[in-house]
Chain A
Amino acid sequence: MTATTVRGAPRKLRTTKSAARRRRVGIAVTYSFLAAVAVIYLFPFLIAIATSFKTEPNATANPLSLAPSPPTTSAFHQLYQDQNFLLWVKNSAIITLSVTFLRVFLDSLAGYALARLRFRGRGAAFATIVAVMAVPGVVLLIPKFLMIRQLGIYDTYYGMIIPLLVDAAGVFIMKNFFESIPASVEESARIDGAGIFRIYWSIVLPMARPALITIFILAFQGSWNELAHFIISAQSTSLNTLTKGVAQLASGQLGVGNRYPLKLAASTLMTIPVAVLFFVFQRRIMNVASGAVKE
């Protein structure tokens, strides 16, 4: 085969050995980058845990060290005694569990209706829900407060729980899931004489466990970590959730003494439930997060 004159700029061929070495170097570089970034991402949490066990002077003097000297649990004692930590935990637990279970139920109801039941206005209802997703949350702070006040549920558990039940994303997930399971099972139940709610409750819902678990996890994470809504929906300190209580520990105290071990102990403790949930379900969580927004 004759070489034509139009081959483009000649390129230097690398030697056989350097190509293999280049590949190994490339992989090593990748690993070191990843390791460095992983350290950056994880080290702060390690510092937080370590600092919860430090004394205040120790925390101030050695902010970087991971070994408290002397180690102490005084921060945790303080949380329990001086602050109302347990009260915060109780409030958070009540609200989170209520929101989670209610969301699972309501979202699956709505999702089923949108996926399987035929009725006029179904499309419009769905479009409305989707449109709702588009309203930025922060814009709704004042509006929601006004309504909560108006309805007389301000400063009550109701006011803190009910507005959080709006969950367009959850309805979306359930609807998509129901659409993906074959309708033949429900059809055979219909032939057998089952009513609509019965089909939903006894047949379809048990089949929807994966999606329900997903909603459960998302709802748990969302409500446990929620702050802004609790700020606007209640003011009594007796209703403080973990987020609000810990926020009060921290806010407005720039320059007013540093009680970092206390604050970091609080932060660490409040993170534990979501962290546990995350590690147990990480596969599922990351699958949802990556597929949640499809373009």
Chain B
Amino acid sequence: MGRFARPSWLRFREPGIRGHQAAAGWLFLAPVIVILGLFLVLPILMAAWVSFSDWSGNGSPLGSHAHFVGLNNYRHLLTTPGLDQNNFGTAIRNNFYYVILVVPIQTAAALFLAVLVNRRIKLAGFFRTAFYFPSVTSSVAITILFLFLFSPAGAINKLLSYAGVNGPAWLYDPRGLLHVILGQLGVNQSPASLSSGTLLGVSYWDWLSGPSVAMCVFVLMAVFTTSGTFMLLFLAALQNIDESVNEAAGLDGASEWRKFRHITVPMIKPTIFTVLTLGVIGTWQIFDQIYVGTQGSPQGTTLTPAFLSFNASFNGNEWGVGAAVAFILFAIIVFFTVVTRIATRDRDRLPRRRRFGPPRGGPTRRSRLASAVSGVLR
């Protein structure tokens, strides 16, 4: 028999020409499927149960220590005024500003860098490496680095002082950017109309605070660490554009900027959508940096839903609330992802019937040509 002969006890049930592919298939997949089921699917179900319970961390949540409380936890977060609601509203507000700052900035920065690196310059490899390097480091290392750079007497403020600017206390500064800007315009405190109503326990005026100065440090951190990755995505897309299309545009009279606007950007639209979507998904999940850096302070302006979920559960033993926050966050992420997708989807234009009338004016060279050649070309 050949080298690979199977012993007789394995030759059960004639398998057909495919051999035991079904059995082997499932066997090969088993570890991954089991781990997936155990550590993804089942946990979600457990957490869903916990979010509907009052479990406080003792014993097993499936045992007698957890009682069903229906939508209580969700109500505490969304509708019942109180600390939970307040925290949740604050966390949502903070993360929201974080998202709308980080996503456009990191996308633009990544595209800008990709366009620059894509020109036929020497040292392109060096620059690519330099810009991508921050993406391979751990969030812990970067957070500590930024804590150092942005400390009140740190490197950044030192740099600013050389330009004659007095830098703020960065990670200790809870002032919202929008409030600061409004303050410059003379609006120093909440107008009556905005301070009376609240949404999720946060006054409308406070909703308009913008990201705090402390949060801005995290914004910069995000751009620093993710622009490299997205730059690579854009680079790949740019390199997929056939150079002759750009040459044709050049011959047609387009300047560099117009080439970029009319040719390059439309041709990399799918990648732009990808980067935006990934950006939205990623920014709504910020956790590590908050945990290592500020844990929500100053004054709760760096509190995020992810951190809130963690904190409420592991430190506050309010597991039900923590789990509920996690699921609401999930819904938010799904929602924003879908919105981003819809807002940026490729709409194929329906053919519009244009009215083509007879050529106006006298016989131009065009129509002379048309009459000479008409009907020949099909």
Q: State whether B29 touches A114 (Cβ < 8 A).
A: yes
Q: State whether B2 touches A193 (Cβ < 8 A).
A: yes
- Residues 227-255 of B, flagged 1 when their CB comes within 8 A of A and 0 if not, give 01100110110000000000000000000
CA distance A211 to B293 in the complex (A): 36
**Size bracket of the B interface:** 35 or more
Interface residues of A in 246-283 (CB under 8 A from B): 246-247, 249-252, 254-255, 258, 260, 263-264, 266-268, 270-271, 274-275, 277-279, 282
CA distance A141 to B228 in the complex (A): 27
Contacts of A197 in B (CB 8 A): 24
Contacts of A26 in B (CB 8 A): 256
Q: State whether B43 touches A42 (Cβ < 8 A).
A: no
B165: interface (CB < 8 Å): no
CA distance A246 to B139 in the complex (A): 11
* Closest-CB distance, B55 to chain A (whole angstroms): 9
Q: State whether B291 touches A247 (Cβ < 8 A).
A: yes
Task: Knowing A63-B153, A142-B326, A147-B46 are in contact, say whether A41-B131 is a contact too (CB < 8 A).
Answer: yes
Task: Knowing A139-B327, A162-B39, A192-B2 are in contact, say whether A232-B147 is a contact too (CB < 8 A).
Answer: no
Contacts of A198 in B (CB 8 A): 4
Q: State whether B28 touches A112 (Cβ < 8 A).
A: yes
A285: interface (CB < 8 Å): yes
CA distance A198 to B172 in the complex (A): 61
- Residues 95-112 of A, flagged 1 when their CB comes within 8 A of B and 0 if not, give 000000000001101101
Q: State whether B292 touches A150 (Cβ < 8 A).
A: no
A290: interface (CB < 8 Å): yes
Contacts of A221 in B (CB 8 A): 136
* Closest-CB distance, B268 to chain A (whole angstroms): 10
Q: State whether A290 touches B145 (Cβ < 8 A).
A: no
Q: Find B47's partner among A112, A146, A291 (CB 8 Å cutoff).
A: A146
Q: State whether B294 touches A142 (Cβ < 8 A).
A: no
- Residues 107-149 of B, flagged 1 when their CB comes within 8 A of A and 0 if not, give 0000001001101010000111111111111111101111111
Q: What 7 A-B pairs come out closest when comparing CB atoms?
A: A143-B43, A225-B138, A113-B28, A143-B47, A119-B25, A117-B25, A119-B22
Task: Knowing A41-B133, A113-B24, A196-B21 are in contact, say whether A270-B138 is a contact too (CB < 8 A).
Answer: yes
Task: Knowing A139-B330, A140-B44, A270-B140 are in contact, say whether A37-B131 is a contact too (CB < 8 A).
Answer: yes
Q: State whether A140 touches B140 (Cβ < 8 A).
A: no
Q: State whether B141 touches A286 (Cβ < 8 A).
A: no
B32: interface (CB < 8 Å): yes
Contacts of A275 in B (CB 8 A): 133, 136-137
B182: interface (CB < 8 Å): no
Contacts of A38 in B (CB 8 A): 126-127, 130-131
CA distance A258 to B116 in the complex (A): 39
Task: Knowing A190-B19, A263-B144 are in contact, say whether A138-B292 is a contact too (CB < 8 A).
Answer: no
Q: State whether B22 touches A120 (Cβ < 8 A).
A: yes
Q: Find B136's partner among A63, A121, A285 (CB 8 Å cutoff).
A: A285
Contacts of B10 in A (CB 8 A): 195
Interface residues of B in 125-181 (CB under 8 A from A): 126-141, 143-149, 151, 153-155, 158-159, 171-172
Q: Find B271's partner among A129, A267, A295 (CB 8 Å cutoff).
A: A295
Q: State whether A31 touches B121 (Cβ < 8 A).
A: yes
Q: List 13 A-B contacts (CB under 8 A).
A: A38-B131, A48-B148, A109-B29, A118-B22, A128-B33, A136-B329, A139-B333, A142-B319, A143-B323, A228-B291, A260-B148, A266-B144, A271-B141
| Interface positions of B (Cβ within 8 A of A) | 1-6, 10, 18-22, 24-26, 28-29, 31-33, 35-36, 38-40, 42-44, 46-47, 50, 60-62, 113, 116-117, 119, 121, 126-141, 143-149, 151, 153-155, 158-159, 171-172, 224, 228-229, 232-233, 235-236, 256, 270-271, 273-274, 278, 281, 284-285, 287-288, 291-295, 297, 306, 309-310, 313-314, 319, 322-323, 326-327, 329-330, 333, 364-365
Contacts of A125 in B (CB 8 A): 29, 33
| A268 (CB) vs chain B CBs: closest residue | B141
Q: State whether A110 touches B131 (Cβ < 8 A).
A: no
* Closest-CB distance, B231 to chain A (whole angstroms): 9
Contacts of A279 in B (CB 8 A): 129
A243: interface (CB < 8 Å): yes
Contacts of B18 in A (CB 8 A): 118
CA distance A250 to B144 in the complex (A): 7
CA distance A88 to B330 in the complex (A): 33
CA distance A264 to B214 in the complex (A): 21
Given A228-B288, A260-B148, 8 new contacts (CB under 8 A):
A4-B364, A27-B121, A125-B29, A136-B285, A190-B19, A196-B20, A271-B138, A290-B233
Q: State whether B36 touches A132 (Cβ < 8 A).
A: yes
CA distance A266 to B143 in the complex (A): 12
- Chain B interface helix/strand/loop/mixed: helix
CA distance A146 to B297 in the complex (A): 28
Interface residues of A in 56-110 (CB under 8 A from B): 59-60, 63-64, 106-107, 109-110
Contacts of A150 in B (CB 8 A): 46, 60-62
CA distance A265 to B2 in the complex (A): 60
Q: State whether B28 touches A117 (Cβ < 8 A).
A: yes
Contacts of B132 in A (CB 8 A): 282, 285-286, 289
Contacts of B116 in A (CB 8 A): 30, 33-34
CA distance A21 to B232 in the complex (A): 31
- Residues 113-135 of A, flagged 1 when their CB comes within 8 A of B and 0 if not, give 11001111110010011001001
A216: interface (CB < 8 Å): no
Contacts of B146 in A (CB 8 A): 44
Q: State whether B44 touches A143 (Cβ < 8 A).
A: yes
CA distance A278 to B62 in the complex (A): 44
Q: Find A113's partner among B29, B285, B314 (CB 8 Å cutoff).
A: B29
| A227 (CB) vs chain B CBs: closest residue | B288
Q: State whether B158 touches A63 (Cβ < 8 A).
A: yes
Q: State whether A138 touches B306 (Cβ < 8 A).
A: yes
Q: Find A267's partner among B141, B229, B329 (CB 8 Å cutoff).
A: B141
